[in-house]
Structure 1
């Protein structure tokens, strides 16, 4: 038996695959990834020659390919990470998000339903479809609102979060209508190694080291809950192993912080670990016009997964962010490789062309 991991060359997916196969007794993994701009085969380079890992370059929307992989490898679980996931990109080009996150998830669900329906006995009872989603489907919180619970209504505010909300609803419907054995997890903001440098934390690290501006939207007081990626991976494993069918589990880090405080923390760590002769890195902070529909606050109530499955994050933000900065300092070659011309063009379009905030 194997597991099929979609989007396994992306940030969270590759961390999950590496974490899974770090256990010598773990089941083999088939990684399916379309290798869009944020998918990187180099993330999985350490698995070269490992017979337990098979990489397939392909799209979750390719039904014939997915059917073939399921028939050939007979996975006992699908862990579905594959998604377009950057809010800013979804504002500029929402079509790709609908295609991958909605249509792609639909195709994958239909392939899984046909495969599962043909299984027999223990193999059918053991099969799971694990859908990985985001806290952004719940919308935005006010300063004094309680954190998002699994029972919160969906109120997505960006094309990205709307497309993920749609995929969550499809997964729920395939459970209730067809009986497909699904579980869903909604996570808070991840950070850690192998994070493509368009998101806040890796962007700040990379720009600071290059002496470039550190762009902060609006007043920088937008609050997020931050989850170290390896903690997220352990949470997914816990839900895959023991989560109740048809249920949703929120996975959070219990770390609410404002964006400007995140940036100040990263700058202070860089001042300590790799000081710049030109002065403190915080001098590079630059406020830019806020993005449209920017949610003010996200926070995750992760008590359900702790109560039912005994999971809690192992890292504090202080320990996780230090590990993250150290990883980027030690992996300058990886950063250089992912900074393609297309990536630089995107950063220039999104940030350097922005007008300074009033």
Structure 2
């Protein structure tokens, strides 16, 4: 008979879960952590006195243009704009996504009439990543507009990337606020009841964030429900990332197959000395091309199926765990009503 091993008690909800990120970075009632975190992320020597949260949705300018939802969008007392995005799963086009958000916000700063582009707010677009995106070894990258000699041309728009996987410092070596921030985000949820925390985790700004994530003050039912929700969220992210990786692998195989076909065609052209052999090789190449097209079709179907399955799972979580209506789900996720009704019907059929 199999025995089930009891999962270790988790003191802190992970920072990089949806709940953890919103409870710390998105805490409007106590923005102490957010202010110090932003100051550390942009490497500013000037403290941030106040922050105001703003609407975090991006509306498309036309029917055809794209909108979006920002994780965190706020301003400080000097007018600086901060956009903070957390991306745990692999997303190779993260830089393009951040550019889209930043450019859209700059566009909203432009006023009609006799406007000379003066007085524009400074925009900091920050991406906190749970995967390695850039080739360099640095875990903290700051980028703005420079010329080919490295001279800064403009700093009105600054992009900051934090790659958590590249951070390797031990707690005793974490001396800057940036080090303390990244270490806490990566390691706090691994703290055991009997474990000893680094001294810097008792600093007021970090302690205030950990207080929001501390499960010890929650009721057993609340703690269990939240742990299940976080586990499902992380599992869903893993599944999406796995599907993405498989799709990328399939693309590579298709590309390799196409290269092989190209090579076969080249060899067939060279082998025209013997017409019979050339015709045979050409026929073989056509069969290979047909096979490649079939493989591409299969890959597309698999990616489509994986995407639909992921959407269904997300809808199930929203219906079962949050009790959202069809209209709420459609409004927030921009999915089709037919798919939402299908999932709800499947859930009701199992009851």
Give the TM interval when normalised to the shorter protein: 0.3 to 0.5
More helix per residue:
2
TM-score (ref. length: structure 2): 0.34
**The structure with more radius of gyration:** 2
TM-score (ref. length: structure 1): 0.33
